[in-house]
Chain A
Amino acid sequence: MNEQTCVIDDKPWLDARQPPFIRIKNVTKKFGDFIAVNNVSLDIYRSELFCLLGGSGCGKSTLLRMLSGFELPTSGSIEIDGQDMAGLPPHARPTNMMFQSYALFPHMNVEKNIAYGLQRDGLNRQEVKQRVQEILTLVQLQDFAKRKPSQLSGGQRQRVALARSLVKKPKVLLLDEPLAALDKKLREETQFELVNIQESLGVTFIVVTHDQEEAMTLSTRLGVMDAGEIVQIGEPREVYEYPGNRFVADFIGSVNIFDGRVIEEDTNFVIIRSEEAKIDIHVSHGVSCTPSQKVSYAIRPEKIQMCLKKPKNVKNLLKGRVNEIAYMGNLSVYQIELEGGKRVRVTQPNTIRSDEGAITWEDEVYLWWDGAAGVVLTS
């Protein structure tokens, strides 16, 4: 019982009685004839770190700009903490935004940039100073208070932008590609820093990103967007392991997709005949589909087993030839050409240092996987 409530506290979206903190209802945004955001409905809960993930032009930034008030929805409504946002200009909303370009004021030093929002609220000098100090300590920029933005590195600027948007303690912090301008190493460090700050302050974060790895690391839940619509919402693991359709499976991580047709369908197993794989794929759980329905079977590269000897007593067995190997250090990516010409990606961790006895180019290999390893996609 205790465990149950704990899970729900952690994951308010599982509790139907829990009121959402941000309620986006049937929001559509048109620019002329172009539909940037198409009838999106989305509930986000208090203290969530929600990622909007999608390629460029999918409408994720437009959705963020509608939350901040820079764009107005063509139709639909947005509610934050029970308050309707319709007609509220950006400066009257309980949101703050961290811009992709950071948008730091070039004529003000770090301190004044951060104090800007507090001064607009008419706080007294003492309090402004104290709050600025607090937030500077949080982002570890105490020694840079008097510097101008042009005298800071990219990472420092990013932290000033974060501090400036957080200092007003907004109900919701909107972050537009917060890490895009940083190099890879710094980005990875900053990801964890961002999560720590979010957890310690308890502010609801909405992050827009095109980087699926970033979205997976940061978010409590993520929403995948395509062509102005949200195609799937879920926790990172859920979206990765149970993609709802072909687009999501393909967009998040890499995946092998076999097209096929259902030939046998039962409550606890399904068999799919795939011309591409030249085998019948055995799925060890029930799927809501009809016999002879066209489906796609998606399997992640790391879930495929591979070896040189033919294994015994396995169900989904393929034979192929090693076409390409990409050595990535921690793992290797193999491209295997099947007999029918279809190419399959397989990854294997590099558990030993020597390359003795390792699979190499032009080797004949056997691939197989468990009946529960893949996903049947009906759309």
Chain B
Amino acid sequence: MSDKKTFVDRMPFSQQIAGFFARIGLSPRAMVIAIPTLWLLIFFLIPFVVVAKISLSEAAIARPPYLPLWEFKDGILNVTLNIGNYIFLTEDPLYYSAFIESITIAGFSTFFALLIGYPMAYMIARAPDRTRNILLMLVILPFWSSFLLRVYAWIGILKTKGLINGALMWLGIIDDPIVMMQTDFAVYVGIVYTYLPFMILPLYANLVKLDESLLEAASDLGASPFMTFLTITLPLSLPGIFAGSLLVFIPAVGEFVIPQLLGGPDTLMIGKILWNEFFSNRDWPVASAVAIAMLFVLVIPVMLLQKAQQADGEQS
């Protein structure tokens, strides 16, 4: 007996812990996976179920402002599932057009971010080591200040008596200020500006892996620099393009702050609708239905993202 004890004492601490979990039926691998699983369960799945539940209930002037989904009275369980909120979404063209506008704005913003971000990512990936780190820092640097503050700064730049109009009028290029604030243009500027790093970073991560000898080989085989880009660099960076585009597109669809601050009354994005339903109308069930619908609209691109990342992983 005492022999066994000394043996256990001699075991490293980590092995003792592993032994304990093994005895209760958990392998170390399961333990490692358990933590993120638990996290997702508590902070993603449960709130999702709550929202889904509210979306199926009826609105009421009460606290909370909806009727319970089930009642247990006199030994009878009454479950009321109200899909009227979803039907309402399809009936009122407001929601439909807000979804379309959100997707359009997010789509174009993604395209512009790609157009601006690709050359930047390419330049950074091809820069000498020391410059590269500085350039990457510059891309990440805006995150060090508040997002809200940066959007407010754009108001200062874009407004009628703002920096751009001031400069143009001082130079004598225009006589009257251009109206940029509270237009879709301002929303595009805001979204592209805010989400550009999310486009650049995955593109950079992809492009920096690109083997330079492949470009040399293409050039050696008679491809002009443009042809080399088209036939080698671009197809090999597709996973990066996918990842970056989805990282911009997905949050842009649900964006609320930017259209609220920079957009005008015509800018109808789904995030703004959500806000209005929740806080102005206090119609939680409809707001929840909007949120759930939006989630399903976004599930498709999220799945695409996962596939793109997988493809990227296999390639390297």
Contact = CB atoms under 8 A, between A and B. Distances in A.
B223 interface: yes
A354 to B, nearest CB: 53
Given A91-B224, A117-B222, A121-B222, A99 B216 contact: yes
B14 interface: no
Q: Which of B219, B223, B224 has the most CB of A within 10 A?
A: B219
Interface residues of B, number: 18
Contacts of B232: 105
Interface bin, chain A: 20 to 34
A93 to B, nearest CB: 8
Interface in B249-266: none
Contacts of B235: 107
A83 B36 CA distance: 66
B236 A120 contact: no
A70 B220 CA distance: 9
B220 A90 contact: yes
Contact of B221 (A89, A96, A106, A107): A96
Interface string B226-269: 01000110011000000000000000000000000000000000
A103 B216 contact: yes
A90 B223 CA distance: 9
Interface string A75-90: 0000000000000011
B219 A103 contact: no
B214 interface: yes
Given A103-B211, A106-B236, A116-B231, A91 B216 contact: no
B315 interface: yes
Nearest to A92: B222
Contacts of A91: 219-224
B217 interface: yes
A190 B213 CA distance: 23
Contacts of A219: none
B170 to A, nearest CB: 46
Contacts of A107: 235-236
Contacts of A70: 216, 219-220
Interface of A: 68-70, 89-92, 95-97, 99, 101, 103-107, 116-117, 120-121, 164-165, 168
25 contacts: A68-B220, A90-B216, A91-B219, A91-B221, A92-B222, A96-B220, A96-B221, A97-B220, A99-B213, A99-B217, A101-B211, A101-B213, A103-B211, A103-B216, A103-B217, A104-B217, A105-B218, A105-B232, A106-B236, A107-B235, A116-B218, A116-B221, A120-B221, A120-B227, A168-B221
In order of increasing CB-CB distance, the 9 nearest A-B pairs are: A117-B221, A120-B222, A103-B217, A103-B213, A90-B219, A97-B220, A91-B222, A91-B219, A90-B220
Given A91-B220, A164-B221, 13 more contacts: A68-B220, A90-B216, A91-B219, A91-B224, A97-B216, A104-B217, A105-B218, A107-B235, A107-B236, A116-B218, A116-B223, A120-B222, A164-B217
